[in-house]
Each structure stands twice: as structure tokens, then as C-alpha cells.
Amino acid sequence: MTDPVAARMPVLYVSHGAPPLADDATWTGELRRWGKDLPRPSSILVVSAHWESAPLTVGATEQVPLTYDFGGFPQHYYEVEYKAPGAPELAQDVAKLVAQPGNPVYQDPNRGLDHGAYVPLVEMFPEADVPVLQVSMPTLDPVQLFELGRTLAPLRDEGVLIIGSGFTTHNLREAVFGDVSGAAPQWGREFDAWAKEAVEGGDIDAVLDFQRRAPAALRAHPRTEHFAPLFVALGAGSESGVDATSEVDGFWYGMAKRSFQFN
């Protein structure tokens, strides 16, 4: 990472994997390389697939234990720590941008970063020296999340790195757990290729309407919470048109780990 803090930050959509991502040398290497290539942020704002709460809610602004929001894994995955500083000033800035009459911003001071936030951050910012704030998704509606991203976009000029954390395909019933070979079903490959073309092509309407326009959309996302953070990232990253690049691709457990950067 470079110093000093950049005046304007890119926006990311990261496929975050699950705790065993840490054991995958290929994926961890890709995330570390990406993190090193980014300008150094003043703070990080994460919207994760694993926190839905309305109205929009701000997580802990001081360092609290992580939220291990998963079950059935070996014990060492519950011992991972990521002691990034809290970001109380960023929380205030988010509230100023988002809160409207009748639409307050709530606070949950005890909620630590969930695995959608800390799993990729451990790899991308391993020093844990950048303040991190997580906020909830107040809805799964694509247009509303896109507008939320547009509302948060001014934070980029304050050096804030906005990250939407999800998974480009996410169907656990058809996942091939433990398979990191890059194999994937045809429907997953078709959806992944469509997502790359639509996002890099700046087709905002198609991305927001993906359930009707994308091949195998309902199979790729039986529920849409893992694609939804992309809408926030797209909104925050499209003020002057979409300039998106695919930074990570391939498949893990049969699911597409494609991730984008909006410049």
C-alpha cells in the first residue's frame, strides 16, 4: 500500500468466501496482491451479505470481538482475530449522509465485524491498522441499495474505501465443499461470465435487474443477499460512469469468486 492517504478511493466488490479461504494459497495470494495495489485508505466501510437490518445500522465504533457468524467449522476458525481500530468519525459521517426525517440510522455498539468483513480484510490489510466500520444492508432491493451506494459515494473523497462483500455465485445446496480446483458447473460459469460482461460494460440496468436478465440467476442466487452488496458498490462507484475491472476470478467450492474494483 502507498502513502499518503489517497484523496479519492476506489470502491470494491469482494467475493469473501468462508473461513477456510485462509487455507487457500491461491485466493489469499490474490487478495494480498490486490490489497498491496490499493492506495492506503483513511478508513474502510464494509457492507456485508451477512448483516441485514433496517433501518441502516452502524456496527461497533470501538474495537469489540469479531462476530463468528457460522457453524460447524474446526475450532481454530473461531480463534481468528482482526483487531482493526474502530471508526467513530466515519460512523458520524455515514449518519449525516444517510439519516433523513423518519429514516434514522441505528447503532449496534456490540456487533463486531462478521466473516464477510474480516475474512477478506485479514488478507488484504493484514496489519489491521486501518479503522474499519461495518454497516447493515437495510434492504435487498437492488435500486434502493444502488441509491444507498450513491449516497455514500462522497466518502470516497475523504479517503474511505467502500467495500461490498458478497459472493458472485452463492448456492450452498450445489456447492462442492473442499474443492479449490477451480471446477464449476456450466450454469455457474455462464452467470459469472455474464456478471463480468455486465459490470465491466457499465450496464447498470442489467445488473440491477439480474434476476430477469442473467442466465441461471435463480440458481446462482436462490436468495440474493450475496449479490446485493454489489449494488451498493456499483452505486458508490458510478458517479461519473462505470470504470470497473475484474481483479479476482475463478471458482472455489464451485462458486464464482469474481471480484471487482470501481475506479
At 133 the pLDDT is: 98
The pLDDT, as a whole number, for residue 1 is 39
Low-confidence ranges of the chain (pLDDT < 70): 1-7
CB 85 within 8 A of CB 129: yes
Q: What pLDDT, on a 0 to 100 scale, did the predictor assign at position 68?
A: 96
pLDDT in tens, 238-258: 987 889 999 999 999 999 999
Q: What are the φ and ψ backbone dihedral angles of 220, each rounded to 5 degrees?
A: -70, -35
Residue 140 and residue 224 in contact, taking contact as beta carbons nearer than 8 Å = yes
- pLDDT attached to residue 240: 78
Q: What kind and span of H or E run contains 177?
A: none
CA 55 vs CA 13, 105, 204: distances in Å: 22, 6, 25
Task: Centre a 10 Å sphere on the Cβ of residue 103 and count the other Cβ atoms it contains.
Answer: 11
Question: 91-142, pLDDT tens digit by residue?
Answer: 999 999 999 888 899 999 999 999 999 999 999 999 999 999 999 999 999 9
pTM: 0.96
Backbone angles phi, psi at 90, to 5 degrees: -65, -40
Q: Which residues contact 179 (CB under 8 A, 6 or more apart)?
A: 252, 253, 254
Q: Which domains does the chain have, with CATH numbers?
A: 11-262 (3.40.830.10)
Torsion of CA 136, 141, 146, 148, to 10 degrees: -40
Q: How far is CA 37 from the centre of its chain?
A: 17
Cα–Cα distance for residue pair 109/219, rounded to 1 Å: 36
